[in-house]
């Protein structure tokens, strides 16, 4: 088995034509027609065939707003038809575009044309959304199969998408698609290929390619700093390869006095649960537990591509949670980097341990705000399932920004509270705080109350990624691993920086 070489995901090339020429469309073997809701066909070729196919099912043209239609034409061409309601949010558009593109991609199409119809403002929004969904699903994630894998999508052609005003929208869609694809590709890597040492090497290679500043807080350095919460988890591994990695992007700041924004990502490359060993059902897919760090990297990549008008500091808490004679145990007392003494209650609550020291490091730099991303608690998945993620913030206005950003990005979030009286459950008779409780009730709120101790007065948004994996895909992404958080995070940062 060969290691996937370091590098960035390769997206399909994009070309655009200002007009949807019938002559060009007639030569397109795999074609998606996108129209606004209603019954107007806007002069789209082959509309009569689509209408006839709908009529045979007792439906009119407006039915395309409910379900896409796929036609196999006499000359071997395959076309999909879809109507999008301008009043619907991004999630609805993304999900429906993915559904309409799937039959074309299932034919292993290496080139797909997208014909856009309707008013100019509709065509612009639809073009950017369709390109984003096409790029995401045209990328082939790593797989280790002897059978020949389908070829990736090599080219997207937009018909009816002209004008300079669309350039920024397309650039942003491509940056987000690249960031999301990087996140999914990293999260797909099996644990024998992406342990902490390999992950750190991959991050170094990305930093060199993208021009990011990099600083690694390795085992020895963290010992000197007194980062006992992180090291309690890391010491269970047979290797001293865990680290907190800091990456820096110095953007084109509009406000020279505005501080950097900090992203913190949980990077547990595999989580056995430690001494509180997970049963097989819950240990399956625990290589995904580094997804929060992959989200942070995806946001950083997208922001870099867009030459973001803000500075970013990214902190990746990279380790494994293993069972060994050296692994941390229940009832131990460990001291975090900021001096907080923590009573260990459950070794499978390792995410909040590594994040505690990473958040403390981030807060020391006095950022304008901290956003952390983590596949943190099972209770959030119980509360929401896998189609949305939960957010908790120490500022109401920051929580409101996250909800608005979720609607705009197609990555929906629900705000949970973190009232102070929940701290009673974390009171310890022998330490400053308990790591968690054994009851498990409201653990997503208790985890946030615990983590909030390490950010001080810094505005802070915690994203518990219950939607990091969704069977059959979610929104724009057709893979089980969704890349959820990349679009949300960039949208939050842009809104915060825009209001600075």
Q: Please return the burial class of 64, using the count of CB atoms within 10 Å of its CB with bins 0-12, 13-18 and 19+.
A: buried
CA-based nearest residue to 298, from 373, 367, 353, 364: 373
Compute the distance between CA of residue 351 and CA of residue 372 in angstroms, rounded to an integer. Answer: 12
Closest CA to 71 of 119, 39, 131, 31: 31
CB 383 within 8 A of CB 467: no
Q: Are the C-beta atoms of residues 129 and 93 closer than 8 Å to each other?
A: yes
The set of residues, in sequence order, having a beta carbon less than 8 Å from that of 161 and lying 6+ positions away, is 16, 17, 18, 114, 116, 123, 124, 127
Torsion sign over Cα 253, 254, 257, 259:
negative
Alpha-helix runs per DSSP H in 29-119: 47-56, 90-106
Q: Is 352 a catalytic residue?
A: yes
Question: With the CA atoms of 350, 353, 358 and 360 taken in that order, what torsion angle do they form, in degrees rounded to the nearest 10?
Answer: 170
Q: From CA 337, how far away is CA 216, in angstroms rounded?
A: 16
Q: Please give the backbone phi and psi of residue 333, each rounded to the nearest 5 degrees, phi first.
A: -115, 120
Active-site entry in 202, 352, 449, 453 = 352
- Is there a contact between 232 and 274 (Cβ–Cβ < 8 Å)? no
What gap in Å lies between CA 177 and CA 483, rounded to an integer?
9
Looking at 49, 77, 140, 278, which residue is catalytic?
A: 278
The reply to whether 27 belongs to the active site is no
**Among all residues, which ones are annotated catalytic?**
278, 352
């Amino acid at each position: 088995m060969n290691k996937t070489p370091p590098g960035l995901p390769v997206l399909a090339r994009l070309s655009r034509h200002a007009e949807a020429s019938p002559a060009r469309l007639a030569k397109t073997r795999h074609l998606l027609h996108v129209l606004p809701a209603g019954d107007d066909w806007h002069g789209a070729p082959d509309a009569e065939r689509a209408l006839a196919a709908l009529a045979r099912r007792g439906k009119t043209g407006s039915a395309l707003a409910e379900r896409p239609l796929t036609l196999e034409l006499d000359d071997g061409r395959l076309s999909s038809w879809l109507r999008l309601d301008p009043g619907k949010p991004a999630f609805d558009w993304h999900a429906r575009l993915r559904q309409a593109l799937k039959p074309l991609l299932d034919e292993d199409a290496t080139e797909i044309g997208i014909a856009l119809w309707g008013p100019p403002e509709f065509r612009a929004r639809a073009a950017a959304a369709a390109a984003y969904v096409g790029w995401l699903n045209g990328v082939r994630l790593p797989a280790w199969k002897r059978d020949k894998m389908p070829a990736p999508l090599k080219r997207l052609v937009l018909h009816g998408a002209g004008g300079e005003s669309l350039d920024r929208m397309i650039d942003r869609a491509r940056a987000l698609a690249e960031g999301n694809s990087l996140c999914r590709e990293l999260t797909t890597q099996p644990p024998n290929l992406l342990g902490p040492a390999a992950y750190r090497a991959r991050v170094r290679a990305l930093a060199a390619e993208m021009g990011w500043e990099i600083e690694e807080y390795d085992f020895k350095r963290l010992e000197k700093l007194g980062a006992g919460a992180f090291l309690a988890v890391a010491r269970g591994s047979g290797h001293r390869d865990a680290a907190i990695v800091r990456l820096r992007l110095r953007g084109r700041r509009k406000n020279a006095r505005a501080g950097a924004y900090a992203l913190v990502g949980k990077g547990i490359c595999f989580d056995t649960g430690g001494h509180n060993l997970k049963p097989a059902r819950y240990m399956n897919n625990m290589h995904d537990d580094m997804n929060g760090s992959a989200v942070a990297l995806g946001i950083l990549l997208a922001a870099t591509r867009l030459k973001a008008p803000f500075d970013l500091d990214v902190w990746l808490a990279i380790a494994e949670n293993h069972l060994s004679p050296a692994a941390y145990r229940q009832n131990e007392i460990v001291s975090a980097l900021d001096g907080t003494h923590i009573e260990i209650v459950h070794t499978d609550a390792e995410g909040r341990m590594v994040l505690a020291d990473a958040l403390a490091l981030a807060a020391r730099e006095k950022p304008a705000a901290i956003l952390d991303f983590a596949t943190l608690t099972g209770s959030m998945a119980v509360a929401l399932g896998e189609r949305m993620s939960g957010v908790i913030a120490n500022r109401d206005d920051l929580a409101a920004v996250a909800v608005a950003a979720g609607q705009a990005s197609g990555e929906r979030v629900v705000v949970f509270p973190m009232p102070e009286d929940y701290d009673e459950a974390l009171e310890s008779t022998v330490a400053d705080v308990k790591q968690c409780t054994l009851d498990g009730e409201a653990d997503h709120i208790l985890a946030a109350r615990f983590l909030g101790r390490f950010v001080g007065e810094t505005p802070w948004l915690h994203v518990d990624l219950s939607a990091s994996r969704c069977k059959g895909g979610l929104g724009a992404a057709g893979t089980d691993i969704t890349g959820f958080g990349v679009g949300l995070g960039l949208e939050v940062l842009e809104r915060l920086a825009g209001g600075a």
